[in-house]
Structure 1
Amino acid sequence: MEAATSPHHRLVAAVDMGTNSFKLLLARALPSGRLLSLDRLKEPVLLGRGRLPDGSLTPTALLRALTALRSFDTALRSLPLHRPPRLVATSAVRDAPNRADLLSIVRSNLDLDVEVLSGEEEARLIYLGVLQFLPVYEKSILTVDIGGGSTEFVVGKLGKVQFATSLNLGHVSLTESFVKKGTMDDLRRHIRSALHQSPLIKIRELGFEVTVGSSGTIRSIERAIFLGGYDDLMSSREFSREWRFSREELRLLVDKLLGLGLGEVEGVKRLGFSKKRGEFIVAGAVLLLEIFEALGIENMEVSGYALGEGVISEMLASECMDFDMNANVQWRSVIGLAMRFDSDNRMKMAARCVGTTKELFDGIRRCDELTNCLSKAAVFLDEKDFEYLEAAILLHNIGLLIGKRAYHKRSYKIIKNGGHLHGYSSEEIEIVALLARFHRKKFPRAEHDSLRECSEEMKQKIRVLCTIMRISLALQKCQCVTFQGLEIFHTGDVFKLVLSKLKDHLLVSHDVQLKSDTIQAELRPELDHFEEVFQQKICVTISSENSEKSAQVL
């Protein structure tokens, strides 16, 4: 598999052992420091719950931790990881008198080492993760990350930390100590006292241009605020809202949460929070509002990346000489838009399809007969064209957040008119939007209204790129995405697309039985488009695992 050998397409993994849950991130390292998240697994370990009188982790908590890590280890075992996963533990383990017991259990049972982060180190890694998501490298930013047992603050600029601190204020610990006892006034007083006695005065002295929030608590707050204005978003048809919210929007949300009765699950769900998140969201939202007040924050941008991505970024920076912590603004804006309109893990599925698209794109470029066909039509493919394909694959289904009917047309409008994609020219945005528009239903014809303003060369390129994209998506629908490699070559008067099967991501843990009727329905129309565009016959062959046999399916 390419990820196992290429320094630019490595599979890497990190585990964030938090107070509330353990989170596994599997990512692919792309050139120049770009990260593409492929899979995430989460286990609700709740280390901070039910400690012993001296603050130690209970035997039951240690067992839950080991069980969660064992499930992660099982999921990763068959993958061609570039290096062993990096495990980092935060406040619940950091503050436990018996943390050595957990480290020893993990080491003896799984042969894995756990790195216990200091609060300052945790804050620094969160900052590195934020830099992979938002274009704030050159700005002085304050990052706030609310976890289950602590909250991290870091002021950074140009990839360097200027100040970092960690406070023992977390949504789980505050819920256990105050919310469940119904002492909301005591909760506010406790938070204000802790903030007043903390070294946060240093943040005011340093100053900052932008405030960024990360972690599940802040992301879920932003999502609830976003959904609260959903009707306005729909009616405006601009789809231009960024990942941010104001102090006033946060205050209104806190008032709504406090107006609900304790344990009022349905009310919390109506506000946009899951049942699991809802148990701790009151403490998290009140804490965040008090932080806004204490530091004079008016607006907060939100990062979809945090500690896990920071851990992986540092892993890559230590190995790759060309790793760029300020990876290009175009990539960050694509990822941000894909996550903004994500639902039902569709971005995860799209991310897996990127690898298929890359294999097919490179296979066509390597094939002299196909490149000759393209040159006759004045079409020349380069890496920039793959970047358009990559962006379109990740964004093609964002319209599904609003509804399934004609979602490809909504995806086009969001990409073209939303103002989300930064660093692209208007023509480049149009290419990405058109690819998303034509990934399904009618194949783009030169006379189509959407292509009327395009040059002849651009029309031809759109048709070529769209052919590649549609075949890749069809392969995924057939579940042929679980392949190790793809070859395309010319034999006689036919091009062969040969797939060799492999289990290459977390969610596919068994061989998928390919049904010929499914393949016929999904793939045949797209191969017809290939033959129309390239004026060449093509067939698909799937080789068996022992590589001795193969079966032509189309």
Structure 2
Amino acid sequence: MRVAVLDVGSNSAHLQVVDDSFDPVFRLKEPTLLAESVTPDGALSPDAVERLVAAVARTVAASREQAVADLIPLATATIRDATNNAEIRRRVRDATGVELRSLSGEDEARVTFLAVRRYLGPAAGHLLLLDIGGMSMEVAAGAGERPDVAVSLPIGAGRLTRQLLPHHPASRDAVAEVRRRVRHALRDLPKVSSPDLVVGTSKTFKQLARVAGDGRRLTRRKLRAWVPRLAGMTPRERAKLPGVAASRARQLLAGAVIAEAAMDALGVEALKVCPWALREGLLLRRLTELAQA
């Protein structure tokens, strides 16, 4: 039996299909480019809604061609928090027959933590997870498959780019304001025990590890050195860096500042980048449920 997750996020609608042994079968990404298309009242613009519906329609059609028996259609924070989310869900349902679902930010943190734990195994010990998305950053920590701490904060790379970084190259004051916003958001984070391993997951961390690390590990020292370099670039120049997609180049600076400021606030000198995240966590959880049914 084939199971799939359709993750509709700020940059793409991403379909990931596996069989019941969790072996990969098929992937498809269709661009949505929603992060820069939020109106002042918090709605997605009409053009963005059109792109989203078309992207979901193409991925849903592909899931049917792949004979997917169980599809998990997830709308992440960009859609979940949009003031016109009811209209968006209706448009998607009318066009595809699929009802987009959402998790709370805290549940996203828990599911992502499950994926990281399964990938690294119990020998990794007590984990601290950082996950930077388009609209939010999730933080989770614990020693088992269920984290003791699971928090979602409104400091995603797309959100802070739109709110605080309107111009690129960016000024030193604008970068400092992003850093202040991140430190303020982390101020009330529940106390986290000293972890055995700190893990970063999400496309943002993967790109930063390619730019400022070795692709698998990222240090705060190197990341801090890269922040002013990224601030001095245009999005087109950032898109020429290794591993940086043109669709994400504009928000890469905010992602770097969020990552560096969070690592600084939490006393993290280095982290390991994990390739598994929310999609893998949803698939693993669903396959476990089916096996127990």
Instruction: Flag whether TM exceeds 0.5 (same fold).
Output: yes
In the other structure, the counterpart of 1:314 is 285
Q: Give the RMSD, CA atoms, in angstroms.
A: 2.3
Q: Distance in 2 between matches of 1:219 and 1:128?
A: 19
Structure 2's unaligned 5+ residue stretches are none
Residue 89 (structure 2) aligned to one of 103, 123, 127: 103
TM-score by length of 2: 0.90
- Is contact 1:20–1:172 with CA below 8 Å preserved after alignment? no
Q: Distance in 2 between matches of 1:137 and 1:320?
A: 25
Kindly indicate whether structure 1 or structure 2 has the higher relative contact order, using CA contacts under 8 Å at least 6 residues apart: 2
Measure how far apart 1:190 and its partner are. Answer: 3.7
In the other structure, the counterpart of 1:244 is 217
Q: Distance in 2 between matches of 1:56 and 1:255?
A: 32
- Describe the superposition over 1:246-274 as per-residue Cα deviations: whole angstroms up to 9, x where unpaired: 2222223334323x3334x3465145523
In the other structure, the counterpart of 2:179 is 191
Amino acid in structure 1 at the alignment position of 2:270: N
In the other structure, the counterpart of 2:26 is 39
What is the correspondence of 1:192-211 to structure 2 with a 5 Å cutoff? 192-198=180-186, 200-204=188-192, 206-211=193-198
Worse-matched range after superposition: 51-60 or 285-294: 51-60
Q: Hey, which bits of structure 1, 4+ residues long, moved more than 3 A?
A: 197-201
What is the correspondence of 1:280-291 to structure 2 with a 5 Å cutoff? 280-291=251-262
Where 1:282 maps in the other structure, the secondary structure is helix
Residue 119 (structure 2) aligned to one of 113, 118, 133: 133
Paired-residue identity, %: 31
What is the correspondence of 1:380-529 to structure 2 with a 5 Å cutoff? none
In the other structure, the counterpart of 1:511 is none
Q: Distance in 1 between matches of 2:41 and 2:261?
A: 29
Q: Does 1:152 align with 2:138?
A: yes
Q: Distance in 2 between matches of 1:50 and 1:303?
A: 29
What is the correspondence of 1:9-48 to structure 2 with a 5 Å cutoff? 10-30=1-21, 35-48=22-35
In the other structure, the counterpart of 2:226 is 253
Matched residues, number: 291
Aligned CA distance change for structure 1 residues 255 and 19 (closer, same or farther; 3 Å):
same
- Describe the superposition over 1:280-300 as per-residue Cα deviations: whole angstroms up to 9, x where unpaired: 211111110001111000110
In the other structure, the counterpart of 1:503 is none
Structure 1's unaligned 5+ residue stretches are 1-9, 228-241, 323-554
What is the correspondence of 1:272-351 to structure 2 with a 5 Å cutoff? 272-321=243-292
- Is contact 2:13–2:30 with CA below 8 Å preserved after alignment? yes
- Describe the superposition over 1:276-320 as per-residue Cα deviations: whole angstroms up to 9, x where unpaired: 332221111111000111100011011111111111111111111
Q: Does 1:86 align with 2:72?
A: yes
Q: Distance in 2 between matches of 1:290 and 1:18?
A: 24
Where 2:166 maps in the other structure, the secondary structure is helix
Q: Distance in 2 between matches of 1:90 and 1:267?
A: 26
Aligned CA distance change for structure 1 residues 209 and 41 (closer, same or farther; 3 Å):
same
Measure how far apart 1:157 and its partner are. Answer: 2.2
- Describe the superposition over 1:463-510 as per-residue Cα deviations: whole angstroms up to 9, x where unpaired: xxxxxxxxxxxxxxxxxxxxxxxxxxxxxxxxxxxxxxxxxxxxxxxx
Aligned CA distance change for structure 1 residues 116 and 24 (closer, same or farther; 3 Å):
same
Q: Distance in 2 between matches of 1:168 and 1:202?
A: 16
Residue 201 (structure 2) aligned to one of 205, 214, 225: 214
Q: Does 1:119 align with 2:92?
A: no
Q: Distance in 2 between matches of 1:261 and 1:185?
A: 16
Q: Distance in 1 between matches of 2:25 and 2:172?
A: 40
TM-score by length of 1: 0.49
Amino acid in structure 2 at the alignment position of 1:93: I
Residue 55 (structure 1) aligned to one of 29, 42, 48: 42
Aligned CA distance change for structure 1 residues 46 and 301 (closer, same or farther; 3 Å):
same
